[in-house]
A and B are shown apart, each in its own frame.
Chain A
Amino acid sequence: MNLGAIKAIYVSEMARFLRTLTQSFISPVVSTTLYFVVFGAAIGSRIQQIEGVEYAAFIVPGLIMLSVMTQGISNASFGIYFPRFIGTIYEILSAPMNFLEVVIGYVGAAATKALFIGIIILATAHLFVDIPIAHPFAMVAFLVLSCLSFALLGFIIGIWAGNFEQLQLVPLLIVTPLVFLGGSFYSINMLPPVWQTVSLFNPVVYLVSGFRWSFFGEGDVPIVASLLAISGFTVLCLVVIWLIFRTGWRLRT
């Protein structure tokens, strides 16, 4: 295992994050506050409670997931796309590293950043509303796994993307709609039966539901289904990345 290389990549990626610490810190705080004003105050005053949970608290897991997913994807995709774009990728390709070491370095750093932002949002939300955490252990596990799996997805996007536009395309056109339609701000039980069935094909439903279960002890789908979904997704991303490195697709000529 080339631990030195993992550390070098991780440290340099985190250094980029720290250079823009103010933005990284302020933007999730501001957006969380906005969501609370809009969803919590405006809509929450009419909805009151969902499944026995105060609406403002109910949206917190979805809110955290939304940021963790988009941040995980954008950090990891930019992390690997940038060296491809400016050409410094030659150094990674000619270094004595295997694919797993490259992935741990980039994805580890991106997941760390996403986790950091998730924690900030949780802390900010805590200022507005009381949030019970029924299964703290599961909550941390879900949070960390979500950060990792979406950073893995971002890594794939960063290797696939041919330009900056494509880099934004997948998060914007696929991930954000999936998150918004994935029960982040509502329970899918509130939907008409047809749409409930459709929702079950949205992988994000399982993640948000599992995460919400760890807070309130209730979810839209069984916790086992959520666990299987996130583990399966993580493994799928790893397999895809392994294939990418094995074939050298978009990396080695």
Chain B
Amino acid sequence: MSAIVSVNNLTKVYASGFEALMGVDLQIEEGEILALLGPNGAGKTTLISTICGISTPSSGTITVGGHDVVRDYRAARSLIGLVPQEVNLEPFISVSNAVAFSRGLFNKPRDDAFLEKTLRQLSLWDKKDDAIRMLSGGMKRRVLIAKALAHEPRVLFLDEPTAGVDVELRKDMWNLVAGLKEDGVTIILTTHYIEEAEAIADRVGVINKGKILLVEDKTDLMARMGGKDLTIELVEPTETIPEELASFNLERAPDGLSLKYSYDAGGERTGITRLLNALQSAGLQLKDLRTRQSSLEEIFVDLVKDRP
């Protein structure tokens, strides 16, 4: 696979002097879904805006499909669709006119069949003649997506597409993204919802304070960084942790009815067999066992917290 979006040593300093991006390198593979995670103000939107041409890079280069976004902006931008974070829509025009307008901006001839397909996919077909100001918030977000897809982009940027939308729309969006991926569209989404990255992304990038902290395959990341917990529920409460178990660094619940063991699931030895034997020799009666994998959210919080 080759990189369809290539960001090299990109910096962005705003006129105010604020350094939004500090030497960002990012290679996005063709056909993948990349989730960019980061707290507010991390530089997610600046990065997307700079790739899409809304913001100009201070230094560094960006290519999309091999085309430099500054020198060869026409070819680069033709490949890109953008769903902005804010619901920015002209209120007085109809849904179908809004989508047709977006297609026109990319110099594509009118295509009614494609328009219908896109609007149906987003459950907007019934609303196609409605003025945008009459639509609900969720419907407006769908219009934004339809506008971004209107010129059949090869790379789609979704800037926090599901912030404040209901469950139904979020699920619809995930399905849509999966469908686009099947058509070979590369998708980059920024999100606060780690659940979302976990559900749909192939790779996860973490950005904080203008720097990319890591970009990694989602499953590898979770396996590598994901600790697991084993919770042992006891039949009888225990006042202290028995001596036999001292080496396992167990956490005792305040009521004494459960013990928690943390281990690295990716490690060669998890120590579980040894622990179970030790529990037996300590004479503790087990009621239940539960294991839980730490989520991307915890990984993310750990990563961001550790950096100055």
Interface residues of A (CB under 8 A from B): 2-5, 7-9, 11-12, 15-16, 19, 82-83, 86-88, 90-98, 248, 252-253
Bound Cα distance from A96 to B64, whole angstroms: 13
Known: A86-B91, A95-B77. 14 other contacts (CB 8 A): A2-B105, A4-B104, A5-B104, A9-B105, A15-B97, A86-B89, A87-B88, A88-B88, A88-B90, A94-B80, A96-B75, A97-B105, A253-B54, A253-B56
Q: Which residue of A lies closest to B157 (CB)?
A: A94
A88–B89 touching, CB < 8 Å: yes
A12–B97 touching, CB < 8 Å: yes
Q: A4-B105, A91-B147, A92-B105 are in contact. Are A252 and B54 (CB under 8 A)?
A: yes
A12–B88 touching, CB < 8 Å: no
A91–B105 touching, CB < 8 Å: yes
B90–A7 touching, CB < 8 Å: no
B78 within 8 A of partner (CB) = yes
Jot down 27 A-B pairs with beta carbons below 8 A, ordered by A: A2-B74, A4-B106, A5-B105, A8-B100, A8-B101, A8-B103, A11-B104, A12-B101, A15-B97, A83-B90, A86-B88, A87-B84, A88-B90, A90-B54, A90-B88, A92-B105, A93-B54, A94-B53, A94-B54, A94-B77, A95-B106, A96-B73, A96-B78, A97-B105, A253-B14, A253-B15, A253-B54
Residue in contact with A2 in the complex, picked from B52, B53, B107, B109, CB distance below 8 Å: B107
Q: A4-B106, A90-B82, A90-B84 are in contact. Are A252 and B56 (CB under 8 A)?
A: yes
B107–A4 touching, CB < 8 Å: yes
Report A-chain residues with C-beta under 8 Å of the C-beta of B91.
Answer: 86
Residue in contact with B104 in the complex, picked from A8, A87, A88, A252, CB distance below 8 Å: A8
Interface size on B, residues (CB 8 A): 35
Bound Cα distance from A40 to B72, whole angstroms: 58
B52–A4 touching, CB < 8 Å: no
B238 within 8 A of partner (CB) = no
Bound Cα distance from A82 to B92, whole angstroms: 12
Q: Which residue of A lies closest to B84 (CB)?
A: A90
Bound Cα distance from A95 to B86, whole angstroms: 18
Nearest-Cβ distance from residue A5 to partner chain B, whole angstroms: 5
Bound Cα distance from A88 to B144, whole angstroms: 10
A86–B54 touching, CB < 8 Å: no
Report A-chain residues with C-beta under 8 Å of the C-beta of B54.
Answer: 90, 93-94, 252-253
B93 within 8 A of partner (CB) = yes
Is chain A's interface secondary structure helix, strand, loop, or mixed overall? helix
Report A-chain residues with C-beta under 8 Å of the C-beta of B102.
Answer: 91
B294 within 8 A of partner (CB) = no
B55–A96 touching, CB < 8 Å: no
Report A-chain residues with C-beta under 8 Å of the C-beta of B52.
Answer: 93-94
Q: A4-B105, A12-B93, A15-B93 are in contact. Are A253 and B49 (CB under 8 A)?
A: yes
Q: Which residue of B lies closest to A94 (CB)?
A: B52
Residue in contact with A96 in the complex, picked from B74, B86, B92, CB distance below 8 Å: B74
Bound Cα distance from A96 to B73, whole angstroms: 7
Report B-chain residues with C-beta under 8 Å of the C-beta of A11.
Answer: 104
B108 within 8 A of partner (CB) = yes
Report B-chain residues with C-beta under 8 Å of the C-beta of A4.
Answer: 104-109
Q: Which residue of B lies closest to A95 (CB)?
A: B105
Q: Which residue of B lies closest to A93 (CB)?
A: B54
Report A-chain residues with C-beta under 8 Å of the C-beta of B106.
Answer: 4-5, 95-96
Bound Cα distance from A97 to B151, whole angstroms: 14
Report B-chain residues with C-beta under 8 Å of the C-beta of A12.
Answer: 93, 97, 101
Q: Which residue of A lies closest to B76 (CB)?
A: A96
Q: Which residue of A lies closest to B109 (CB)?
A: A4
Nearest-Cβ distance from residue B69 to partner chain A, whole angstroms: 10
Bound Cα distance from A94 to B73, whole angstroms: 9
Q: Which residue of B lies closest to A16 (CB)?
A: B92
Q: Which residue of A lies closest to B102 (CB)?
A: A91
Bound Cα distance from A82 to B88, whole angstroms: 11
Identify which of B49, B82, B106 gathers the most chain A CB atoms within 10 Å of its CB.
Answer: B106
Report B-chain residues with C-beta under 8 Å of the C-beta of A252.
Answer: 53-56
Nearest-Cβ distance from residue A79 to partner chain B, whole angstroms: 12
Report A-chain residues with C-beta under 8 Å of the C-beta of B86.
Answer: 87
Nearest-Cβ distance from residue B1 to partner chain A, whole angstroms: 25
Nearest-Cβ distance from residue A105 to partner chain B, whole angstroms: 9
Bound Cα distance from A2 to B74, whole angstroms: 9
